[in-house]
Chain A
Amino acid sequence: MKKRLYIVCAGLLVLALLLLVLYFLLSDESLQINDYDLANAAVRVYPDYTSIAIPPNIAPLNFQIKNPGKYYYVRIYSNNGKAIHVRSRKGIIKIPHKRWANLLQENIGAELKYDVFIQDQTGRWIKYETITNTIARDSIDPYLVYRKIDICQGWNIMGIYQRDLTGFDESIVIHNKSYGYGCANCHCFLNNNPDTMVLQVRSPAYGTPMLMVRQGQVNAVNTKTAVTPGKCGFTAIHPNGKIIAFTLNKFSMLTHLAGDEVREVFDHAADLALYLVDDNQVLSTSKITKPDRIETFPAWSPDGKYLYFCSATQFPPEKYNEVLCDLMRISYDPKTNKWGDLETVLPARKINRSFTQPRFSPNGKYILLSVSDYSDFPIHMVKSDLYLLESATGECRKMSISSDRNDSWHGFSSNGRWIVFNSKRMDGRFSRPFFSYFDKSGRAHKPFVMPQMDPTFYRSLTRVYNVPELIIKPIDISQRNFASSIIGYKKTTSEATAITGATPGMQLPSSSEDVQQTETPWTDPYARE
């Protein structure tokens, strides 16, 4: 009896080994094609992953070959390591993840080549021009956080998601289904680190908390004061992590009767203020709360001495196409709460276009900007370009990575070597996250869209990406924690105190009396005509 059992077990083992051998033999995708014609043409691939610089830690750049054919064969190789062979009947090239990762790691700084063979209807193989990409020496931050939403005014569902760029995993950071279908707008991080982050929520059911994460703990902050309505817009965290600059925008959506772009976001009023985290206080100055000007898109200089922002003359809605934003800055001393003078860094009249969304490179050497023909809200413009400003010299130039469509919502990686931005270049309508290598000489390389497991993914995606932000590690706060902070916000959070010379009836901070004696009263932007 026992003997028979041993025989059965041994037989099963042999069978398993045989199957294993068979699997390895059959899974070898390599193909010997000796007889082929050379096509002196570049192969058409979707998405365009040709002649790009790629991070050594990026997920496989799966693509689709658009040239017609009966059979497709791609060989991916570099100086070192084993080549990757991919065969396909439909032209969908899905690269094995592990082998891809190994190949990239073994060839950092080298060229990555793709030999593409297509078998035509007669059975003849055609070899197209070799695709050559470069594996950059610098890694990209492994996670990307973004909002996914339908193109809409009255939203229904939306969520903030994080994507592991080294693979294809995407997870939900927070979805508005968990807090009554409210809105989650612009998220921001301190130095690309999710340990300190801010996320503003607007929920008809639960209020408008500013969710603030510090040392892995999430808090719902009430920024409502006597003069601030508590609905923050864009935010920027001071390098010391204790001050958050935020905007108070009174937006409305206008509709174009004709033309390519349907929507126009108009700012009826916009002011800037600071939230002092430790003191639970809101602070501002009349220099950045002028009723006759829009002040928006705050960004701290990496040394924390200046608050950069965009500012334009306030116009009525019918003059929507006259809104041109200057890039401005104001110095601020966090120790004394002392404001300096306003300075115009980059006047709009210089190129007669509007500067928005300033973002510093981590070393403070560059400022990346969105530039559109008008408006302080570039995402709805038909065309918006990326400009680079050298902060030391003041030299400003249009970046070569700009497309003839809308490029905006940009940011740097923590090492400053990668730029992420939203672009509508693929179809002119639906924005997707793109990456571009930004080398030491300040040159940006040809951008590429965030890779997906299914290379045709973007072809049928009618949702859009917003505010892509690179982070060095995943956000480890659970969705539930975020949701419960929002849900419990009204019960647990008290209003902040407004302490500003610009606020009528408010006590002046003692250390900045000399500056703020000249303040004019600050009025709630929502109450302005």
Chain B
Amino acid sequence: MAKTLRIFTKSKLGLSVRTIIFLIACFLVCCYWINPKLIVYGYSELFYIPIYVPGSEWFVDSPTYPGKCLDFLAAYLTHYYAYLWMGSLIITLVIWLLTWLTGRVIQVMQGEKLFFLRYIPAIIVMMQNGRYNHDLSRSLFLICILVLFCLYNLISLRHSWLRMTLFLLLVILGYVLAAPFYWVFPAFTIMYEIFIRRNWRMGAFCVILSIFVPYLGSIYYGHGMQEAYLCTWISSCFPDIGYGDRMLGNINYFLLPLIGLSCVCFNIINDRYFRKSKSNKRHPGSDTLQVATDSNRSVWQINSLIGLKWLLTTSVLLLILFGGFRLTRNDVRCKYLHLISLARQEKWTELLSEAQVFPNQCYDRYICFYVNRALYHTGQLSQKMFSFPQQPKALLLRTNIRYGGKERVRHYSALCDLSYEFGHINKSEDLCYEAMTMSSYSPWILKRLALIYIVKEQPEAAVTCLWKLRKDYLYRDWAIKWLEQLEKDPMMLKNPEIQYIRSVMPQSDSIQETITARDFFQPLFNRNRNNRMAYEYLTAMYLLTNDLDSFISVFSQLNDLCGPEIPMHHQEAILLYSKMSNKPISIWRGKLSRVNIVRFNRFFKTYEQYRNDLNAAAQVLAKDFENTYYYYNLIIFPTLQKSAAK
């Protein structure tokens, strides 16, 4: 037993087992905490991830640039994140390659004693993944550079000119394949030549060549000098994120050369100060093993000590991994992406239950928007919408887009889905085009576009979108199903969903450059008075903007659309309107719930007491009335307006 333990811990097996444990831990972290699926479903919410476009279009149509191949590979692999286990496996594989290659570099730099450093780049990558700001291509660039350096070391050529040629070839390859991490390769090679091989001339030559290559690259690729030398992609990858995230995103770029340098420094210090002293002053107590052997301790004790050391280092490693990950993990973004992914998959009930535990202060207009859609689809918009945080303009996303491409994609793709459900097919089609051009490729938008063409009785155009989706293995089945249906029934006359949208889509054409909310809804009612979604959203919009007069006017005309009972928030609005305008509510009195009337009276009585102090009113009333419309109208809305005015 003791002997086995000793063999296990002293040989490479111990290292391998530790690495395997580390990788298993990484895999589990990916599965349970990161959830790579969120990256795929929330891609337009994320700042930068490579997007896989099925077919060769993306590769052929855009100009070539250094790093394009690995960008494409990364996009392709990221595509597999849609499966939890597959995504986790890919990330783990990347982690393994990084660990193994960094270990090789440490070995080359003769820093075996600093073996612990091999895990650092991998841990950083895990941390980046935990913050959802890591794109796979950066890891692939890094791996590529490390492979090139290992190759340089492996092909040990004696003649200087052969070495130079090899360096030149590899450095060019490094630029072509992994330009954003280009400088890491010459940095390693120069360190290796100067400090390990003590070949100053070769080191100097490497410096000159590595400076020359980006210049050649600028000529070949047609980049500016600054772009070619500084590889400005690195900073431009994350245009909209905070300083901390950006630093974390780029840390490996600087960390790896530092690891190499640490090994070199360690060697120099070790050589100069310790090795000499060790050889001169070595005594039995200087080494644990020696101590144990010399003092004739039992073999069991020695091996236990080594085993303990192994166990300790492995535990420390796992502690660093979990600790680092937990400390840097962005929980809010994870939950946010989870909500977005549920919305993308139209899992409305699950979305609502997740939204209930999502922190109120983190609700942005998109979450409000998706929650409202979920409420509508579960038949609760007019019953429970004020149980969730609301923003007046989020219902129809009637906000100005001030941001770049990604923000536009989010905005347009959210709105095109909503417009489609309303029956505003042309509006939805228009938004789809804009979102599609901004996103390069988005299966959700393409799906929507295919449905739009089907609704508009343009099956051939729908087939074009479906054929494209057919190339995307995630949507292949969906596309084939629709293609088969189109083959049998090109106009989809038997499909109830399509027929419903056709029954609500406006038919009389007009041209509008800017559309007001009323202009948006009026054609829908003109086409089909029974457009229940339009009715619910219109009333919700009037409630959210505190336009009670308009609400009452629409409600009077169309309240039969909501069935025999008046929905909760509508009752609350009627009561409030009656109170504020001193108008009787006799027409609907019979339909109003007695409990509601009593509750409203109780609310209003307290509100009257704190009328001049909204904060105090909010504190007193929040507990019992936070989920009511009148609380929103009298307490929240004025506060929102004040903050908007500020």
* A contacts, CB < 8 Å to B: 148-157, 159, 161, 170, 172, 175, 177-178, 252, 254-260, 262-264, 317-318, 320, 426-430, 456, 458-463, 478-480, 483-484, 487
List 29 interface pairs A-B (beta carbons < 8 Å), by A numbering: A156-B438, A156-B440, A157-B61, A159-B62, A175-B62, A178-B63, A178-B222, A254-B511, A254-B513, A255-B426, A256-B510, A257-B523, A258-B426, A258-B510, A260-B458, A262-B433, A264-B511, A427-B458, A427-B461, A459-B463, A460-B55, A460-B464, A460-B471, A461-B57, A462-B436, A462-B449, A463-B57, A478-B222, A479-B222
Please name all residues of chain A whose beta carbon is closer than 8 Å to the beta carbon of B461 when the two chains form the complex.
427-430
Chain B window 55-72, contacts with chain A (Cβ cutoff 8 Å), 1 for yes, 0 for no: 101001111000000000
| Nearest residue, chain B, Cβ from A261 | B426
> Are the CB atoms of B464 and A255 closer together than 8 Å?
no
Within 8 A of A (CB), among B484-520: 505-513
Which 5 pairs across A and B sit closest by C-beta, in order of nearness? A480-B222, A152-B437, A427-B460, A150-B437, A429-B461
Please name all residues of chain B whose beta carbon is closer than 8 Å to the beta carbon of A460 when the two chains form the complex.
54-55, 464, 467-468, 470-471
Min CB gap A220→B, angstroms: 16
Min CB gap B139→A, angstroms: 24
Per the bound structure, the CA–CA distance linking A292 and B436 in Å amounts to 37
> Are the CB atoms of A159 and B511 closer together than 8 Å?
no
B408 in contact (CB, < 8 A): yes
Please name all residues of chain A whose beta carbon is closer than 8 Å to the beta carbon of B433 when the two chains form the complex.
150-153, 262
> Are the CB atoms of B464 and A459 closer together than 8 Å?
yes
Per the bound structure, the CA–CA distance linking A484 and B471 in Å amounts to 37
Please name all residues of chain B whose beta carbon is closer than 8 Å to the beta carbon of A479 when the two chains form the complex.
63, 222
| Nearest residue, chain A, Cβ from B426 | A262
Most B CB within 10 A of own CB, among A177, A259, A426, A463: A259
> Are the CB atoms of B523 and A154 closer together than 8 Å?
no
> Are the CB atoms of B511 and A320 closer together than 8 Å?
yes
13 further interface pairs, Cβ-Cβ under 8 Å (given A175-B63, A255-B513): A152-B434, A153-B430, A154-B408, A155-B437, A156-B440, A172-B61, A259-B509, A317-B511, A429-B453, A460-B54, A460-B467, A462-B449, A462-B464
> Are the CB atoms of A255 and B512 closer together than 8 Å?
yes
Please name all residues of chain B whose beta carbon is closer than 8 Å to the beta carbon of A255 when the two chains form the complex.
426-427, 430, 511-513
Per the bound structure, the CA–CA distance linking A260 and B505 in Å amounts to 12
B384 in contact (CB, < 8 A): no
Per the bound structure, the CA–CA distance linking A462 and B471 in Å amounts to 13
> Are the CB atoms of B222 and A177 closer together than 8 Å?
no
> Are the CB atoms of A150 and B436 closer together than 8 Å?
yes
Instruction: Choose from B62, B405, B430, B506 the contact partner of A262 (Cβ within 8 Å).
Output: B430
| Nearest residue, chain A, Cβ from B470 | A460
B417 in contact (CB, < 8 A): no
B536 in contact (CB, < 8 A): no
Question: Known contacts A257-B512, A428-B458, A429-B453: does B440 contact A157 (CB below 8 Å)?
Answer: yes
B109 in contact (CB, < 8 A): no
B429 in contact (CB, < 8 A): yes
Chain B window 216-246, contacts with chain A (Cβ cutoff 8 Å), 1 for yes, 0 for no: 0000001010000000000000000000000
Min CB gap B219→A, angstroms: 8
> Are the CB atoms of B430 and A263 closer together than 8 Å?
yes
> Are the CB atoms of B511 and A151 closer together than 8 Å?
no
B465 in contact (CB, < 8 A): yes
Chain B residue total in the interface (Cβ 8 A)? 46
B456 in contact (CB, < 8 A): yes
Per the bound structure, the CA–CA distance linking A155 and B471 in Å amounts to 24
Instruction: Choose from B405, B446, B468, B509 the contact partner of A257 (Cβ within 8 Å).
Output: B509
Question: Known contacts A148-B61, A159-B61, A175-B63: does B511 contact A258 (CB below 8 Å)?
Answer: no
Min CB gap B472→A, angstroms: 10
Per the bound structure, the CA–CA distance linking A252 and B464 in Å amounts to 28
Min CB gap A266→B, angstroms: 8
Per the bound structure, the CA–CA distance linking A426 and B55 in Å amounts to 20
Per the bound structure, the CA–CA distance linking A376 and B554 in Å amounts to 41
Chain B window 26-63, contacts with chain A (Cβ cutoff 8 Å), 1 for yes, 0 for no: 00000000000000000000000000001101001111
| Nearest residue, chain A, Cβ from B461 | A429
> Are the CB atoms of A461 and B464 closer together than 8 Å?
yes
> Are the CB atoms of B464 and A258 closer together than 8 Å?
no
Per the bound structure, the CA–CA distance linking A159 and B61 in Å amounts to 8
Please name all residues of chain A whose beta carbon is closer than 8 Å to the beta carbon of B523 when the two chains form the complex.
257-258
Min CB gap A375→B, angstroms: 12
Per the bound structure, the CA–CA distance linking A458 and B460 in Å amounts to 11
Instruction: Choose from B60, B425, B437, B471 the contact partner of A170 (Cβ within 8 Å).
Output: B60
> Are the CB atoms of A156 and B405 closer together than 8 Å?
yes
Per the bound structure, the CA–CA distance linking A255 and B512 in Å amounts to 6
Min CB gap B228→A, angstroms: 12
Please name all residues of chain B whose beta carbon is closer than 8 Å to the beta carbon of A150 when the two chains form the complex.
433, 436-437
Most B CB within 10 A of own CB, among A150, A152, A257, A479: A257
Within 8 A of A (CB), among B627-645: none
Per the bound structure, the CA–CA distance linking A73 and B300 in Å amounts to 78
| Nearest residue, chain A, Cβ from B519 | A257
Per the bound structure, the CA–CA distance linking A303 and B434 in Å amounts to 43
| Nearest residue, chain A, Cβ from B220 | A480
| Nearest residue, chain B, Cβ from A264 | B511
Min CB gap B232→A, angstroms: 13
Min CB gap B471→A, angstroms: 6
Please name all residues of chain A whose beta carbon is closer than 8 Å to the beta carbon of B508 when the two chains form the complex.
257-258
Per the bound structure, the CA–CA distance linking A474 and B61 in Å amounts to 18
Question: Known contacts A150-B436, A154-B408: does B513 contact A252 (CB below 8 Å)?
Answer: yes
> Are the CB atoms of B506 and A257 closer together than 8 Å?
yes
Please name all residues of chain B whose beta carbon is closer than 8 Å to the beta carbon of A252 when the two chains form the complex.
513
Min CB gap A157→B, angstroms: 7
> Are the CB atoms of A258 and B507 closer together than 8 Å?
yes
> Are the CB atoms of A262 and B437 closer together than 8 Å?
no
Per the bound structure, the CA–CA distance linking A456 and B467 in Å amounts to 9
Per the bound structure, the CA–CA distance linking A463 and B511 in Å amounts to 25
Instruction: Choose from A152, A177, A256 the contact partner of B509 (Cβ within 8 Å).
Output: A256
| Nearest residue, chain A, Cβ from B412 | A154
Per the bound structure, the CA–CA distance linking A479 and B220 in Å amounts to 11
Question: Known contacts A256-B511, A427-B461, A427-B463: does B437 contact A154 (CB below 8 Å)?
Answer: yes
> Are the CB atoms of A154 and B512 closer together than 8 Å?
no
Please name all residues of chain A whose beta carbon is closer than 8 Å to the beta carbon of B465 when the two chains form the complex.
462
Chain B window 432-449, contacts with chain A (Cβ cutoff 8 Å), 1 for yes, 0 for no: 011011101000001001
Per the bound structure, the CA–CA distance linking A73 and B230 in Å amounts to 56
Instruction: Choose from B408, B453, B509, B513 the contact partner of A258 (Cβ within 8 Å).
Output: B509
> Are the CB atoms of B222 and A154 closer together than 8 Å?
no
Please name all residues of chain B whose beta carbon is closer than 8 Å to the beta carbon of A318 when the two chains form the complex.
511
| Nearest residue, chain B, Cβ from A481 | B222
> Are the CB atoms of B437 and A156 closer together than 8 Å?
yes
Per the bound structure, the CA–CA distance linking A260 and B509 in Å amounts to 10
Per the bound structure, the CA–CA distance linking A255 and B467 in Å amounts to 27
Chain B window 124-161, contacts with chain A (Cβ cutoff 8 Å), 1 for yes, 0 for no: 00000000000000000000000000000000000000
| Nearest residue, chain B, Cβ from A320 | B511
Per the bound structure, the CA–CA distance linking A252 and B63 in Å amounts to 30
| Nearest residue, chain B, Cβ from A458 | B464
Min CB gap A41→B, angstroms: 19
> Are the CB atoms of A260 and B63 closer together than 8 Å?
no
Per the bound structure, the CA–CA distance linking A150 and B445 in Å amounts to 13
Min CB gap B440→A, angstroms: 7
| Nearest residue, chain B, Cβ from A149 | B437
Please name all residues of chain A whose beta carbon is closer than 8 Å to the beta carbon of B437 when the two chains form the complex.
149-152, 154-157
Min CB gap A172→B, angstroms: 6
> Are the CB atoms of B506 and A258 closer together than 8 Å?
yes
Most A CB within 10 A of own CB, among B61, B427, B453, B468: B61
Min CB gap A425→B, angstroms: 10
Instruction: Choose from A148, A170, A257, A458 the contact partner of B511 (Cβ within 8 Å).
Output: A257
Per the bound structure, the CA–CA distance linking A479 and B437 in Å amounts to 23
> Are the CB atoms of A484 and B222 closer together than 8 Å?
yes
